[in-house]
């Protein structure tokens, strides 16, 4: 039987990266198709753009130029991340700054839903808690929309963090002067509880949130005036020294119309005052819920340090939002990956392992390809010994 030469089958994507991005591909199927605005076909598809941003954050690239160089010269990135025909700086910049925001939001929201069904739920007894905070992002002077003060441009990310599943779930972007309080009603859904620092104290908002059934646990200033309606019983030997139903503020000026609960407690010789409409929790649970607000600070610090999310590769407001969403998507994918593979939360140890696995798998694939190529040439020489084709 004559020997037939089979076409070489192209290598598959790396197993580790494929495992990491599997939920993203599922989410992509539900998103609005990204179409070219003109007659030219897209230089970079939505999946290409997402993969590039995931690689950017995963591998700690320092700039857009660094990422583009990797997409051209790194074996893994060139074959499995970059568009088939490559991507030039101008096309990459256009893709990042002018398109894809709607689709990125859709993918992010789909991944949040996926993660909430996959990841275990913690602190169930405290209810559905969302930590809320803002984070300033250093911008360039050319980013005219990012107003902050003379000689300085900053943007501000307003984030809602799902405490129960330890993932970000809502994100909004404004200039650096943007007030954080108006975003609370957009981040918290009715029935959920927002955990907030004392910057968010606003008695009018406390009334509005109760009317909308958006619960809150918010630290307040110690000197806030309290009109006591009734005291609640305090346990002996508790960190709690105050628990009462009150009206907050000065009558006729800024006093709340709806009564609420204020809990005072002491930790490390420091007094904390917290206002809430959660009457179903004990005073100690209220104190614990506010203490857990620190988790969003931990998330911001880890996210910035290890995924380099604030190394800007976009300049427009929409482009910066796309980049931030890319960083959040990367984190959620890591959360799902670490849970599925190790039954653990995200850690830099597991992220480093993933980076190393991708490098090792790239080498293994290249070595396997060279071995196959060598055997292929040897077979051709055997079957076509006198042909120039055998030595090609």
- What string of DSSP letters covers 296-307? HHHHHHHHHHHH
Is 386 a member of any domain? Answer: no
Residue 222 lies in a domain: yes
Smallest Cα–Cα separation from 280: which of 159, 193, 211, 207?
Answer: 193
238 and 336 housed in the same domain: no
Given this model, what pLDDT does residue 82 score? 83
Q: What is the pLDDT of residues 85-134, one digit of tens each?
A: 888 888 888 888 888 999 999 999 999 999 999 999 999 999 999 999 99
Residues 157 and 194 in one domain: yes
Q: How many domains does the chain have?
A: 2
Do residue 150 and residue 291 come from a single domain?
A: yes
Same-domain status, 65 and 150: no
Q: Is the dihedral of CA 88, 93, 94, 96 positive or negative?
A: positive
H or E, element range at 248: strand 240-248
379 within domain boundaries: no
| Distance set, CA 233 to CA 102, 263, 270, 282 (Å) | 51, 11, 22, 10
Q: Assess if residue 7 is contained within a domain.
A: no
pLDDT tens for each residue of 286-345: 999 999 999 999 999 998 888 878 888 888 999 999 999 999 999 999 999 999 999 999
The whole domain housing 79 covers: 15-31+41-104+321-367
264 with 233, same domain: the answer is yes
How far is C-alpha 381 from the geometric centre of its chain's CA atoms? 54
pLDDT at 88: 84
Give yes or no: residues 217 and 347 share one domain.
Answer: no
Higher pLDDT residue, 34 or 342? 342
* Res 9: pLDDT: 40
Task: With beta carbons less than 8 A apart as the criterion, state whether 4 and 372 touch.
Answer: no
Per-residue model confidence as pLDDT tens digits over 236-283:
999 999 999 999 999 999 999 999 999 999 999 999 999 999 999 999
354: in domain: yes
Does a structural domain hold residue 19?
yes
Pairing mode, if any, of strands 270-276 and 193-196?
unpaired
Task: Mark whether 190 and 249 lie in a shared domain.
Answer: yes
Kindly state the average pLDDT of the residues 35-39. Answer: 71
Answer whether residue 10 shows pLDDT above 50: no
Q: Could you tell me what percent of the chain has a pLDDT over 90? A: 58
Whether residue 134 sits in one domain with residue 257? yes
The CATH number of the domain where 266 resides is what?
3.90.350.10
Let me know if residue 376 belongs to a domain.
no
Residue 360 lies in a domain: yes
């Amino acid at each position: 039987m004559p020997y037939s030469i089979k076409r070489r089958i192209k290598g598959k994507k790396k197993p580790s990266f494929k495992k990491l991005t599997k939920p993203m591909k599922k989410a992509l199927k539900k998103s609005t198709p990204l179409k070219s605005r003109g007659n030219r076909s897209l230089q970079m598809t939505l999946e290409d753009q997402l993969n590039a941003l995931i690689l950017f954050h995963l591998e700690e690239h320092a700039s857009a130029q660094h990422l583009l160089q990797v997409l051209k010269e790194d074996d893994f990135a060139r074959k499995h991340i970059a568009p088939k025909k490559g991507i030039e700086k101008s096309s990459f910049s256009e893709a990042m700054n002018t398109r894809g925001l709607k689709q990125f939001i859709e993918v992010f929201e789909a991944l949040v839903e996926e993660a909430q069904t996959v990841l275990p739920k913690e602190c169930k007894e405290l209810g559905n808690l969302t930590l809320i905070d803002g984070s300033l992002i250093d911008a360039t002077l050319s980013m005219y929309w990012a107003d902050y003060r003379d000689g300085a441009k900053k943007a501000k990310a307003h984030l809602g963090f799902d405490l129960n599943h330890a993932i970000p779930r809502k994100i909004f972007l404004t200039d650096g002067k943007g007030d954080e309080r108006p975003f609370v009603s957009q981040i918290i859904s009715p029935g959920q509880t927002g955990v907030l620092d004392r910057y968010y104290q606003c008695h009018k908002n406390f009334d509005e949130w109760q009317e909308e059934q958006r619960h809150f646990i918010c630290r307040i200033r110690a000197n806030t005036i309290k009109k006591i309606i009734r005291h609640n019983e305090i346990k002996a030997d508790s960190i709690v020294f105050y628990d009462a139903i009150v009206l907050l503020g000065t009558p006729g000026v800024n006093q709340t119309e709806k009564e609420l609960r204020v809990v005072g407690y002491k930790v490390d010789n420091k007094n904390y005052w917290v206002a809430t409409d959660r009457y179903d929790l004990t005073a100690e649970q209220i104190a614990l819920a506010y203490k857990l607000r620190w988790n969003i600070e931990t998330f911001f610090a880890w996210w910035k340090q290890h995924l380099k999310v604030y190394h800007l590769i976009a300049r427009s407001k929409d482009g910066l939002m796309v980049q931030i969403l890319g960083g959040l998507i990367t984190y959620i994918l890591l959360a799902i990956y670490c849970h599925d593979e190790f039954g653990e939360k995200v850690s830099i140890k597991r992220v480093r392992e993933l980076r190393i696995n991708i490098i090792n798998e790239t080498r293994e694939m290249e070595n396997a390809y060279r071995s196959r190529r060598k055997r292929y040439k040897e077979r051709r020489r055997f079957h076509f010994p006198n042909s120039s084709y055998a030595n090609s």
